[in-house]
Structure 1
Amino acid sequence: MQALKLLSKHGLNKSPAIEESSVVITEKNSIDALKPVADIVLLSDLITDFINATIESHKIFRRVYALFYSSNI
């Protein structure tokens, strides 16, 4: 299993770490060379927005999952 790597303030000197990563997330204002290889480009410069959105999506998924399996179909 490959470890998750998070890089902030991306630069070209981090290209070996980017090549090893399974998922590349970059900010809106990162260098243009990273945007084509990124899996996710954040529209905000704050990584906390991405973390909060991920936490909220997990909450929604758990609610839908619980509702689906608690109903008598």
Structure 2
Amino acid sequence: ISVKDSGTGMTEAQVETIRGGAVSGISSAGTQGEKGSGLGLIICKDFLRRNGSRLVIESRKGEGTRMSFELNQVNF
């Protein structure tokens, strides 16, 4: 699954902060002035980690961000 936006993007330092596990303090106003707490990102990263996956983040300041991940199919 891959999601891409054309928002404000992030600096490489912000991306590295997220990859390292910290998300507080990186929030900035979006294209519509919206802000987030980063809680959704924490939940997603934890879910992916628990299921043997990881979040891949690609971003360019001023151009937008793409976040993607893969999950293995489970047969019941």
What TM-score does the superposition give when structure 1 sets the normalisation length?
A: 0.29
Q: Which has the higher helix share?
A: 1
Q: Which has the higher strand share?
A: 2
What TM-score does the superposition give when structure 2 sets the normalisation length?
A: 0.28
Q: Which has the higher contact order (CA 8 A, sep 6+)?
A: 2
Which has more radius of gyration?
A: 1
